[in-house]
Structure 1
Amino acid sequence: MGSDAESAVQLDWRDFDDDSLPPLLQSAVQTFVAHGYHGTTTRTLAAAANMSVPGLYHHFASKQAIIVAIMDYAMDDLWRRSIVAQAEAGPDLERQLALHIECLALFHAHRKELAFLAATELRSLEPDARTQHIAARDRQERMLVEILRAGAATGAFRATDARQVARALITMCTGISQWFDAAGPLSATAIAEDYVGYARRIVLGG
């Protein structure tokens, strides 16, 4: 994890204002969300990006390559933010849990379209890409599992089955991408704060 931490050291994990996703992929995200992977043609993707089809192929060899690039970006972005959040928490396991859940909640609110595609279009990936995406997803899950196991070992957490608890907490956070509305009554920050409270009650009791 050392090299990942070094590459992410300058990242403000709570800041989502700077979107480094290339414009072509940004337009592809919107198109895939609107029409689904199988309902989107290469011609539609090119038109959304104000490009010709040959111009699109200059950047990506296929529609599959585009969805893979989007899903890789989503998992990489979440992973880098999670590493920095854990480093900020230090050795305090309760704080590690709180900041990890805050990170998950903020990501799935601010990057809701990316998160939605990463969750729903796994079925559209070809076998090698699917295997790679599942590995990235499992790596992300293991970070929370390890926090929960460490807390259970010290008696701080009530998590006899850390993997099951981790999946419940992750599912709770990933669901935000399906309903969050930036124009709604609750901000992403407020929702993240609430979700940290829910996680604490599940893991700490009370």
Structure 2
Amino acid sequence: MEMSEEIATTAGWREFGDDALSPPLRAALGVFARHGYHGASIRMIAEAAGLSVPGLYHHYRSKQAILAALVDTAMAEMLANTAAAADDAGDDPVTRFENVVECLARFHMARRDQAFVASTEMRSMEPEVRAHHVGQRDAQQEMIEDAIRAGVDSGDFACEFPEDAARAIASLCVSIANWYRPDGPLSADDVVCRHVEFARRLVGAAAR
């Protein structure tokens, strides 16, 4: 599949509209992104959500429960969209791989704060919450790795270490959330095109 600088965004998995967060979670996202988990208080989150502290506790029993719900919501969206991106490719392993990478890049641009909090606050997660989050990350990693292996099996990729390549590609996409800005010099489509090309080189795809 040859990707142009103008990428059609008609497929549903390419679209990240409203984040579907509840008001308390949206408020918590802003507070966590600005102050970090340990710098945030329940009172700060409640005030940002326009709730009393007891009112916030009516929705979530603790600050940890808020973090868990916030991260789980983001990861569930990413996994669902990535699975849809892979399915949208049909039987073409190269398109499958490029769709998966594109989806990850678009997610980390559209959900910058969610991605940032999920990445930086693993240290703040209690063991059960962390284990669930790691399981979601592993599922995402597996989708990338499976796409690479399919390309290797078809002869389209020359990649000796699919697991390592998948890890590198995941890190590449995650880093987008740290620097991308909608008003920056690169459009979302520019970022996608460049990162898909980086990913192609990592898996030894044939030059276009």
Deviation at 1:18, TM superposition (A): 2.4
- What residue is the counterpart of 2:114 in the other structure? 114
Q: What TM-score, normalized to structure 2? A: 0.91
Conservation of the 8 A alpha-carbon contact between 2:93 and 2:154: no
- What residue is the counterpart of 1:49 in the other structure? 49
- What residue is the counterpart of 1:96 in the other structure? 96
Conservation of the 8 A alpha-carbon contact between 2:148 and 2:162: yes
Q: Does 1:85 align with 2:85?
A: yes
Amino acid at match of 1:46: A
Q: What TM-score, normalized to structure 1? A: 0.92
- What residue is the counterpart of 1:4 in the other structure? none
- What residue is the counterpart of 2:7 in the other structure? none
- What residue is the counterpart of 1:21 in the other structure? 21
Deviation at 1:12, TM superposition (A): 1.4
Conservation of the 8 A alpha-carbon contact between 1:110 and 1:188: no
Which residues of 2 match residues 99-178 of structure 1 at below 5 A? Answer: 99-178=99-178
Deviation at 1:110, TM superposition (A): 0.7
Report how many residues are paired: 196
Unaligned ranges ≥5, structure 1: 1-10
Take 2:145 and 2:60, find their aligned partners in 1: how far apart are those partners?
36
Amino acid at match of 1:94: V
Secondary structure of 1:13 counterpart? helix
Amino acid at match of 2:156: A
Amino acid at match of 1:134: V
Deviation at 1:154, TM superposition (A): 2.8
Deviation at 1:155, TM superposition (A): 2.3
> What is the aligned-residue identity percentage?
42
- What residue is the counterpart of 2:5 in the other structure? none
Deviation at 1:205, TM superposition (A): 4.8
Take 1:78 and 1:96, find their aligned partners in 2: how far apart are those partners?
16
RMSD of equivalent CA atoms? 1.2
Give CA deviations for 1:166-194 in whole Å, capped at 9, x if unaligned.
01111111000000111112122221121
Unaligned ranges ≥5, structure 2: 1-10
Runs of 4+ residues deviating >4 angstroms: none
Amino acid at match of 2:119: A
Amino acid at match of 1:117: V
